[in-house]
Structure 1
Amino acid sequence: MLDDDTQSRSSDEPEQARPTAVARLAHSRRGFLKGMMTAATASFGLGAGVLAAPEAAHARGKGRRDRRRFQVFRIRSWAARLHLAERTPRKADNGDEQRYADQRASFSKTLPHDDLGEVDRSAYRALLRALASREPADFEAIPLSPQADRRLANPQAAFVFDLVGRDGHATRLPEAPAFASAELSAEIAEVYWQALTRDVPFRAYDASPLVAAAIDDLNALPAVLAPTEGGVVTPGTLFRGETPGDRVGPYLSQFLWHDVPYGAAPIVQRYQTPIPGDDFMTSYEEWLAIQRGAAPAASIRFDATRRYLRDARGLGEYVHVDVLFQAYYNAAMILTGFGPDALDPALPYRGSASQGGFVTFGGPHLFDLVAKAARVALGGAWYHKWCVHRRLRPEVYAGRIENHLRGAKDYGLPLDLLMSEAVARVRTQQGNALLPMAYPEGSPTHPAYPAGHATVAGACATILKAFANEAFEIPDPVEASEDGLDLLAWGGEPLTLGGEIDKLAANISLGRDAAGVHYRTDARGIEVGESQAIGILQDYSRTYNEDFDGFTLTRFDGRRIRIVDGRVRLA
């Protein structure tokens, strides 16, 4: 880990939980602004006539122009002061990087590897040296494998600054489960089962013998990380997210099935999906070459018929080629297409007799924030990935299992995992314990924890909920047929916007697990993205001319909050 920051509370926590910090900040606002003006005058050599109070400027005849300039200065200064008052939380890794000299638990894709798939230690030290120095030349000096056709995915983005919202380095993320822990054993077992069940339609989970075997195996492990009912995994909780909305209705969110009103070209959400059984990296030679950064020799074979998403293979391909905020941008168009009742009643203009929202509190406002939050959230994800955790990908963990089982090296792996039904079935199916991957290239060339898709999910879903009437019931809910050729009416309990937005975030996050490139706890990135989106809403909540009582939304942990005048309060 390359971070030694101190622990404190973030300003996205409701202010009831942090009265001292908020009171101190509010009390100092006027003095702070006065001090900032004085400092700016001294630092930039600006005369008093330039940085005088707006009232004085007006008195000298400078009028609205100078008053507007000072309003901008005050709003931006206040936002900066709010985030300056936060203390960056302490970052803790799981100790694996220091625990294992062979870096068995650390990300190293594209670097030189020996025949066990273990990284060259001098190359790994060069990576650490670059991350510590932050010097662009040191990043260019990181040695890649002679076989590498791929490059490391943008590690310098870990140090990017943004001019809106919470800095990525100020977000919290607990340590990932350790390499030899029962928790990680449960996670990799779940990923194996997600690979084995890729071609089982979600609608058929209740009747599938393969799904039943997965449930029995996961429940037999010492640690159960998946959502449970009565303490056990069931067909209704298997591979699902962990919010109440995730457990209601079909597996997939309505936002992945409803037509998207995309301007003059409405989109029917039938997608190009891979053929069943089209898995990759199932031979050791292929696996090792991919770890060394080689381009894959194989490619995905696609079904000639476009289908609605109906199984994990189709979902995995959706999150393989998506623009990261794509699902939420689509959701924003679907949501606004439901009409005004789908929007938060507290938003301005809902009751106006003379105006409607557009630039503010209209479509352009929502779509802009969805895209903006995605990019800001990725900066936070990249910080945690590269500077703190550097967690190995599931495909590499499976390689360690394979080498352990064939006697090449004892990695001290839990016996429960080695004897699990998941590992046994994969070995029977392909002759080794390597993880069958949905993508020819395997994982991306950046560390696993947290998932970038999950971090974007947390950010974009938070923006959607800030604009949505979360209690609004989605009209005409559907689910895909088992062959994906039709949409069938959903006849179960009502599905709400809030629940389906949360479900969408989980679908996109866990869809990457189904492809084999992430573990369940990598979806903790949702918390990072949520925090950064709240920071964006805090900054913008003080910029509007309208009478506005603030953004209200339900956090992923179930708390209702209101973001008003730059502050977060319990709603």
Structure 2
Amino acid sequence: MNGPQGGLAFGLEGSDGVQFGNAPCPDNQVYAVVVPPAPALASAAYGTELVELYWASLLRDVAFTDYVLNATAAEAAQELSAMPSYAGPRDNHGNVTPTLLFRGGYPGETIGPYISQLCVIPSFLGAQEMNQQMVTYAAGIDYMMDPATFQQVQNGIDTGLRNQLDPQPRYLNSGRGLGAYTHLDVLYQAYFTAYLVLNTIGVPVNPGNPYADSRTQNGFGTFGQPDFAATVAAIAGFALNCVWYHKWYVHLRHRPESGGAIVRQILTGHGGTLD
């Protein structure tokens, strides 16, 4: 198990894991900070999530820029458009389009390319140049495609199979590339890299920074570059333990391939067994 004890670490800054989310904390009641439970297994919402995830798996080797002309992406958009429980973004006509597939629902997520420019623009870590090309996984390889290896993985047994690396470093451009990134990333890598890019291209500090208009001082250990870099890391640590509390001690949501296996068992007439 991946560090469940971390969820029990008490946070001295911000909401502790027990206080954040669905726990009966007065602040949560005032500000409505909640982490809702996952949809029930036998619900339309859960079924729709699985449909979306399996379409994403079929498209994981297709570049995001190719979705607009890809036949599989068009099929995915058509099916998701017809599902009332689909919670992702739709266009003004209520349809899911290939360029809206798999995007989130927060403000601004339907604007621009799938990959942020903060993941593309070259940057520097001090004097060390960063070109932002990634080592990703080789395309066209599938795993857990038979009951034996699937059950081994679900039971924590090593199958001996390993991810095969793409020998050519690439910019992030597909679902498989994002999967490799999130599988191997350092906890706060994306946010820290974004900070480095903003620093490299000279984005000014917020006008509320107490040093913003100073002619004699600049921020350093407080409200300056070392403070910014350290704060990104510190926040990520607190957030991880908070999320881990909900992951291990509240929701215990199973992985999507487990849900897919349950559907398979039902469709093959073995819904009451685990074999």
Q: Same fold (TM over 0.5)?
A: yes
- Tell me what 2:126 maps to: 263
Distance in 2 separating the partners of 1:263 and 1:325? 17
> Which deviations, in whole Å up to 9, do the C-alpha atoms of 1:73-121 show, x marking residues without a partner?
xxxxxxxxxxxxxxxxxxxxxxxxxxxxxxxxxxxxxxxxxxxxxxxxx
Per-residue deviation, 1:242: 1.6
> Which deviations, in whole Å up to 9, do the C-alpha atoms of 1:177-236 show, x marking residues without a partner?
111111011101111011000011111111110100001111222311111113221123
Do structure 1's residue 376 and structure 2's residue 238 form an aligned pair?
yes
Judging changes above 3 Å, is the alpha-carbon distance between structure 1 residues 304 and 153 closer, same or farther for their aligned structure 2 residues? closer
Do structure 1's residue 300 and structure 2's residue 163 form an aligned pair?
yes
Per-residue deviation, 1:298: 1.0
Distance in 1 separating the partners of 2:238 and 2:194? 19
**1:374-453 matched pairs, under 5 angstroms:** 374-409=236-271
> Which deviations, in whole Å up to 9, do the C-alpha atoms of 1:32-78 show, x marking residues without a partner?
xxxxxxxxxxxxxxxxxxxxxxxxxxxxxxxxxxxxxxxxxxxxxxx
- Tell me what 1:201 maps to: 63
- Tell me what 2:49 maps to: 187
Distance in 1 separating the partners of 2:164 and 2:5? 34
Distance in 1 separating the partners of 2:20 and 2:89? 25
Per-residue deviation, 1:246: 1.3
Q: Decide which of 101, 105, 112 is 1:249's aligned counterpart.
A: 112
Q: Which runs of 4+ in 1 moved over 6 A?
A: none
1:183 match: secondary structure:
helix
- Tell me what 2:189 maps to: 326
1:170 match: secondary structure:
coil
- Tell me what 1:32 maps to: none
Please tell me the residue identity of whatever aligns with 2:171.
Answer: Y
Q: Decide which of 89, 101, 121 is 1:227's aligned counterpart.
A: 89
Q: Decide which of 334, 344, 350 is 2:212's aligned counterpart.
A: 350
Contact 1:259 1:334 in 2 (8 A): yes
Query: Does 195-204 or 214-223 show the bigger shift?
Result: 214-223
Q: Decide which of 144, 155, 160 is 2:4's aligned counterpart.
A: 155
Per-residue deviation, 1:162: 2.0
1:261 match: secondary structure:
strand
Please tell me the residue identity of whatever aligns with 1:333.
Answer: L
Per-residue deviation, 1:338: 2.2
User: What TM-score, normalized by structure 2, do the two folds share?
Assistant: 0.90
- Tell me what 1:213 maps to: 75
Distance in 1 separating the partners of 2:8 and 2:259? 28
**1:59-98 matched pairs, under 5 angstroms:** none
Please tell me the residue identity of whatever aligns with 1:361.
Answer: F
1:391 match: secondary structure:
coil
Per-residue deviation, 1:410: 5.5
Distance in 2 separating the partners of 1:358 and 1:200? 44
- Tell me what 1:86 maps to: none
- Tell me what 1:287 maps to: 150
Please tell me the residue identity of whatever aligns with 1:176.
Answer: A
Q: CA RMSD in A?
A: 1.4
- Tell me what 1:547 maps to: none
- Tell me what 2:223 maps to: 361
5+ residue gaps, structure 2? 22-34
5+ residue gaps, structure 1? 1-151, 412-571
- Tell me what 2:25 maps to: none
Distance in 1 separating the partners of 2:2 and 2:167? 32
- Tell me what 1:170 maps to: 19
Per-residue deviation, 1:238: 1.0
> Which deviations, in whole Å up to 9, do the C-alpha atoms of 1:259-287 show, x marking residues without a partner?
12111211111111222112211111000
Q: How many residues align?
A: 259
Distance in 1 separating the partners of 2:265 and 2:272? 8
Per-residue deviation, 1:340: 4.7
Distance in 2 separating the partners of 1:351 and 1:340? 15
Per-residue deviation, 1:291: 0.9
Judging changes above 3 Å, is the alpha-carbon distance between structure 1 residues 340 and 288 closer, same or farther for their aligned structure 2 residues? closer
Please tell me the residue identity of whatever aligns with 1:288.
Answer: Q
Contact 1:340 1:350 in 2 (8 A): no
Please tell me the residue identity of whatever aligns with 2:165.
Answer: F
Distance in 2 separating the partners of 1:345 and 1:366? 15
Per-residue deviation, 1:390: 1.1
Please tell me the residue identity of whatever aligns with 2:113.
Answer: P
Contact 1:227 1:240 in 2 (8 A): yes
Distance in 2 separating the partners of 1:296 and 1:345? 55
Judging changes above 3 Å, is the alpha-carbon distance between structure 1 residues 246 and 222 closer, same or farther for their aligned structure 2 residues? closer
1:247 match: secondary structure:
coil
Bigger share in helix: 1
**1:27-176 matched pairs, under 5 angstroms:** 152-172=1-21, 173-176=35-38
Distance in 1 separating the partners of 2:107 and 2:250? 31
User: What TM-score, normalized by structure 1, do the two folds share?
Assistant: 0.44
